[in-house]
Chain A
Amino acid sequence: MSVKTITKDNFAKFVEVLIGQGNVIGVQAKGDRFDYAALKSAEDLRLDYDVTLQPPKKYFLPPAEVLMRCTAGGPYKSEYADQPFILLGVHPYDMIGINQMDELFKQDNCDAHYMTRRNSATIIACDVVKASANVFASSMGTAVVRQGYDVLLTDIGNDYVAEAATEKGQTMLANAKTTEADEAALKSREAVWARNKKTLNRHELKCTPSYLPKLLNRAYDHPVWEERARTCFSCGSCNLVCPTCYCFNMQDDVSWDLKAGTRGREWDGCLLDGFTEVAGGHEFRKHRFNRFRHRLYRKAKYVPEKIGGQIACVGCGRCVSACLPDIANPVSVYNRLLDDLGIG
């Protein structure tokens, strides 16, 4: 598929057209920070953002959603959210987070609820313009993405380079006033990619990400887990802001007249006390360090084993910013292990 350039003015007009056609969710300022929200005007769109407060996973796995409805005591009927929407401004590391979730929800027992939302989305990704305070995507190999989106935008100054990767993206882009990208534009895009591969690196991992599973094979009983977890609040903020955390709880609600009910799911977090509690009160990861270790093992060992070795930390740095006692930074934990255990 061809690569186009589009002036920023024409892009704004294009966004207005999209807003007129349907549901567009885009990155906007929220105080002095940024987040995804329903876009009412192209003026509100901020593709120069550094990082959003929340990753875009909530549009595919909402904090709370209804999966099915029932009459009290009666059978359940599935309910799907299939309203089309456009997600505008997804950074590469978050796109990779979505790609990983796609694989996890698809494999073994395909989750039709997740997939329905996913198929209802058209994703316009964009390369990072400004590095956030805690991003380490360069270390994780997630500073640039080449799949999963429908259109990828790269800011090259006065213009965007826009590349459609799917039929859906190409059809949508046909509504915009674009020109064929010339050699110079493509070179500028390469330069942005080369820059981001180096500079989105506020915390530098001292090994390649692919080495992390091997490192963790030797680190299970290392003191770092207890040392860090000593000040952990078990608040689950790291789970909440993580683009690759997808654990959930399932529960029913019954209507006030006790005649109908819903079964829904909502986000849960492996750092929360009680996550592994079973009937009768036994809790399998009772201690904070068990839960702290579990999260970092999931990111760099357990989930990678399920998705062909990709590390399930995409280097967005949100957990680093969100953690009050400042213990969540995965790079500092992995680097500490590397310092102590070496590359074996």
Chain B
Amino acid sequence: MGQQCAEMKDVYLPQSATITEAEAMNVTERYLRLSMDDGPFDYIPGQFVEVSVGGIGEAPITISSSPTQSDGFELVVRKIGNVTNAIHNLNRGDKLGIRGPFGRGTYPVEEARGRNLVFVCGGIGLVPQRSFINYVLDNRDQFGEVAILQGTKSYNLRLFTSEVEAWGKRGDVQMLETIDEPDKSWKGNVGVVTTLISKVKMDLKSAMLLVCGPPVMYKFVLMELEKRRVPHENIFLNLERKMKCGVGKCGHCQVNNTYVCMDGPVFQYSELATMPEAI
């Protein structure tokens, strides 16, 4: 039987990368900058990598940096399982295995040019969104109005605080932040991220909305956008699943007939009409 791979390449084999920067962001999140040991690494905002720690395992993590910024790429890893705990013990100079980047469903970089953009981020949802946010800000004249909505559970869990502050000071970005359970020192908005939607100074119906956060957030954000009659094709959602193999085989990330690792992780809301399991 002439069954043969066109090229004898192991799609499961990680390539070696070196950690060039590592820093704790808060109690659960660790920031890493990585550089591939062999060859270039090109990616599009929204793509993810499979990160390996030898003998421990592999975890899918979406890239947080923008391809417009210096070489290498950045990840933010939440300490939540065996692999991510092991990653938290690594420092500058240590090695990691990387596969990818994966995902054909990236942020709609080309379609977004000239459009008004609203980023709706819940908690760690800022991390993947940051890739496209920085892409847009590095090519600021190519895009219309930009609003970034960030909701965080508590003050201590805020991420990229100096970067968020810098976005707010630019003058060409509406940076809106809210905290769900703030302490006394917080003087800003209080509540979940949906409470910020009415504060955006922009015609939402014609804007492109990019949404990323925990599963429960999508329901409430979509309800708000539905009330405002935002067309479904203008809404983009980042559906993170348990992408074990990353190459469309293992079945874990399947949402109805769609493999998130292949056709996602970013989907147009109108595409989800045939994917009732998505949200």
Contact = CB atoms under 8 A, between A and B. Distances in A.
Interface of A: 67-68, 70-76, 78, 102, 104-106, 108-113, 115, 118-119, 121, 123, 148-150, 166, 168, 220, 246-255, 258, 260-263, 265, 268, 270, 275-280, 282, 284-285, 290, 294, 297, 301-302, 305
Interface in B245-260: 245, 247-252, 254-257
A295 to B, nearest CB: 11
Nearest to A270: B251
B277 A109 contact: no
Given A74-B54, A75-B54, A252-B57, 18 more contacts: A68-B12, A78-B10, A102-B3, A108-B247, A109-B248, A112-B10, A113-B10, A115-B3, A250-B57, A254-B56, A261-B55, A265-B250, A268-B251, A270-B254, A275-B251, A276-B242, A297-B256, A297-B257
Contacts of B55: 70, 72-73, 252-255, 258, 260-262
Interface of B: 1-14, 16, 52-59, 78, 80-81, 84, 94-95, 97, 214-215, 240-242, 244-245, 247-252, 254-257, 262, 276-277
Contacts of B6: 110
24 contacts: A70-B54, A71-B54, A73-B54, A75-B16, A102-B1, A102-B3, A109-B247, A110-B9, A112-B9, A115-B3, A115-B4, A246-B251, A248-B250, A248-B251, A252-B56, A261-B54, A268-B250, A268-B252, A278-B240, A279-B81, A279-B242, A284-B215, A284-B277, A301-B257
B261 to A, nearest CB: 10
Nearest to B216: A282
A294 B276 CA distance: 12
B1 A249 contact: no
B18 to A, nearest CB: 12
A231 B33 CA distance: 50
Per DSSP, are chain A's interface residues mostly helix, strand or loop, or mixed? mixed
B1 A248 contact: no
A115 B94 CA distance: 34
A75 B240 CA distance: 27
Contacts of A297: 256-257
A285 B215 CA distance: 13
B240 to A, nearest CB: 7
A166 B3 CA distance: 12
A280 B1 contact: no
A261 B95 CA distance: 15
A68 B56 contact: no
Given A247-B252, A248-B249, A276 B13 contact: no
Contacts of A106: 3, 5
A118 B5 CA distance: 11
Contacts of B97: 75-76
B85 to A, nearest CB: 11
Given A104-B249, A119-B3, A110 B277 contact: no
A320 B231 CA distance: 46
Contacts of A258: 55
A291 to B, nearest CB: 11
Name which of A123, A166, A249, A270 has the most chain B CB atoms within 10 A of its CB.
A249
A250 B83 CA distance: 13
Contacts of B78: 279
B245 A250 contact: yes
Contact of B13 (A72, A78, A105, A220): A78
Nearest to B5: A110
Nearest to B78: A279
A299 B151 CA distance: 41
A73 B215 CA distance: 33
Nearest to B262: A108
B56 A220 contact: no
Nearest to A72: B55
Given A76-B13, A110-B6, A302 B257 contact: yes
A74 B65 CA distance: 25
A75 B56 CA distance: 12
Contacts of B57: 250-252, 263
B7 A110 contact: yes
A302 B247 contact: no
Contact of B53 (A73, A220, A275): A73
Nearest to A70: B54
A277 B251 contact: no
Nearest to B9: A112
Contacts of B56: 252, 254, 261
Contacts of A76: 13-14, 52, 54, 97
A282 B3 contact: no
B95 A73 contact: yes
Name which of B16, B54, B214, B241 has the most chain A CB atoms within 10 A of its CB.
B54
Contacts of B241: 276, 278, 284
Nearest to B15: A75
Contacts of A294: 254, 277
A294 B257 CA distance: 9
A279 B84 contact: yes
